[in-house]
């Protein structure tokens, strides 16, 4: 699959549902499902504007200690769960604070427990005190908007939707989803992986890795006992699928008339080059996901021990760069395995073999795999007869498309579409000073818009980069 786009300001946002899944749902013959998916895509775009960039590491001056045991007895999670009451104002009303008893709202209790379980994995296993290593409070909001098909980390807190009740259930029900999103926070404070192409796919994969490790740690499962599924508790019985992603068998998680087929590759032979989803970050993450699964099952036992320690060491303690690609990440994990367990150890052998099996390090040329980045191009000088708008992103990676017949829209809107295609700063909002620098940078799991017309290369934007007129135009286009 090949695509080209103008990526003016690559951005990031972390949502559990990939944009390509939401896009598929927005085309459902069921108008209720389609409308809810389209609204979720737009809401996720709106949330990205306040995000911190993973392309800029926010590491502290000194990393958290890698203590062999627990840190001071007074150290513990600092959780607060809020109720957004089906609105968009965050964080909402405080419902449960650290140490408070359970409440009647199951979503509140699930979020509270998931925050604690994730904190305990990082603290008890890896010696890290919260996401930043310094005891960062863990904040969550539940009941965000209505029929919201996503959960995301916005750089400051977790946000959970209740799902649409037909395809997706409540997003607080999946502990690996909570672990996934909070791990984006760890990545922001450590490696700062840029949310584009292969570095973005690694960003997603690392969140999947530690998301499943949270689940396995809580359940006490060994690598052989675990299901290696991401979001298995999200899909409702009407869906022909088992989860959003499978780390053991990428590309097999679902095959559904409305969701489509799981697009993840397991090896570099099937690497997907695309302009959507920030260069396929939710798609090509299947390759490093499979590598970790191979490492964990080859070593055996608890995956949070040796395999998790190797990945954690690379994420937090080594020379990893924000633009790290698969080849570089493979090299760093191989080095970490040798440093931690010795040259020729079972752990080191397993790591090297896994990257070879997925085709990352067995290339005879020694060159890096495709980056998934897309070239720039200028937009057309005249308004076309129609444009195709595709919205991608979100944790599930769904994709939603709409065709706009410009002959049937008012002249001011035609000017907006023309400006979007031509990357006109007056329309896009990309002019200097229009948006803060941090808002121009990638937001994990957020949505983006690709706007295309015959005879021109597509242009790609994040919603928070656009002028109010452009945002309103796109909002009307996707309103269900």
Catalytic residues: 181, 282
3-state helix, strand, coil in the chain (%, to 5): 40, 15, 50
Q: Please, are residues 1 and 136 in contact by the beta-carbon 8 Å criterion?
A: no
Instruction: Please tell me the distance from the alpha carbon of residue 74 to that of residue 76, in angstroms, as a whole number.
Output: 6
Which residues are CB-contacts of 304 (< 8 A; sequence separation ≥ 6)?
A: 121, 125, 213, 216, 217
Helix (H) or strand (E) holding 111: helix 106-120
Residue 87 structure tokens: 């609105």
Name 96's bridge partners. 81
Instruction: Please tell me the distance from the alpha carbon of residue 232 to that of residue 236, in angstroms, as a whole number.
Output: 9
Instruction: Please tell me the distance from the alpha carbon of residue 344 to that of residue 193, in angstroms, as a whole number.
Output: 29
Instruction: Please tell me the distance from the alpha carbon of residue 90 to that of residue 83, in angstroms, as a whole number.
Output: 9
Residue 435 structure tokens: 């948006």
Q: Please, are residues 271 and 265 in contact by the beta-carbon 8 Å criterion?
A: yes
3-state SS, residue 417 = helix
Q: Are strands 79-83 and 138-142 parallel, antiparallel or unpaired?
A: parallel
């Amino acid at each position: 699959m090949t695509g080209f786009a103008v990526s003016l300001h690559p951005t990031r946002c972390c949502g559990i549902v990939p944009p390509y899944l939401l896009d598929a749902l927005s085309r459902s013959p069921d108008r209720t499902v389609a409308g809810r998916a389209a609204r979720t895509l737009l809401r996720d775009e709106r949330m990205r504007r306040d995000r911190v960039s993973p392309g800029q590491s926010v590491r502290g001056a000194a990393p958290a200690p890698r203590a062999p045991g627990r840190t001071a007895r007074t150290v513990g999670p600092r959780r607060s769960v809020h109720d957004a009451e089906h609105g968009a104002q965050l964080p909402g009303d405080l419902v449960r604070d650290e140490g408070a008893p359970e409440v009647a709202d199951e979503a509140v209790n699930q979020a509270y427990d998931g925050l604690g379980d994730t904190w305990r994995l990082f603290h008890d296993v890896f010696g890290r005190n919260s996401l930043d290593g310094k005891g960062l409070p863990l904040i969550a909001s539940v009941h965000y908007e209505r029929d919201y098909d996503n959960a995301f980390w916005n750089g400051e807190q977790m946000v959970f939707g209740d799902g649409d009740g037909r395809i997706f259930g409540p997003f607080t029900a999946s502990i690996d989803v909570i672990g996934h999103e909070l791990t984006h926070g760890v990545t922001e404070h450590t490696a700062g992986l840029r949310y584009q192409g292969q570095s973005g796919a690694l960003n997603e994969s690392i969140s999947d890795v530690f998301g499943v490790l949270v689940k396995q740690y809580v359940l006490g499962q060994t690598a052989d006992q675990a299901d290696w599924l991401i979001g298995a508790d999200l899909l409702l019985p009407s869906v022909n699928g088992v989860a959003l992603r499978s780390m053991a068998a990428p590309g097999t998680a679902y095959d559904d008339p409305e969701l489509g087929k799981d697009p993840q590759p397991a090896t570099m032979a099937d690497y997907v080059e695309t302009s959507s989803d920030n260069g396929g970050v939710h798609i090509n993450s299947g390759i490093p996901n499979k590598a970790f699964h191979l490492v964990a099952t080859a070593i055996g036992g608890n995956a949070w021990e040796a395999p998790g320690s190797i990945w954690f060491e690379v994420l937090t303690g080594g020379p990893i760069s924000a633009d790290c690609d698969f080849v570089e990440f493979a090299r760093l994990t191989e080095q970490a395995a040798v440093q931690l367990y010795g040259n020729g150890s079972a752990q080191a052998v397993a790591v090297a073999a896994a990257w070879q099996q997925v085709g990352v390090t067995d290339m005879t040329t020694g060159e890096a795999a495709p980056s998934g980045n897309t070239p720039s191009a200028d937009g057309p000088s005249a308004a076309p007869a129609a444009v195709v708008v595709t919205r991608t992103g979100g944790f599930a990676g769904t994709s939603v498309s709409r065709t706009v017949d410009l002959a049937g829209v008012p002249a001011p809107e035609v000017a907006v579409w023309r400006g979007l295609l031509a990357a006109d700063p007056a329309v896009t909002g990309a002019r200097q000073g229009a948006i803060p620098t941090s808002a121009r940078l990638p937001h994990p799991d957020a949505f983006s818009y690709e706007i295309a017309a015959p005879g021109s290369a597509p242009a790609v934007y994040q919603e928070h980069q656009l002028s109010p007129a452009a945002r309103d135009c796109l909002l009307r286009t996707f309103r269900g």
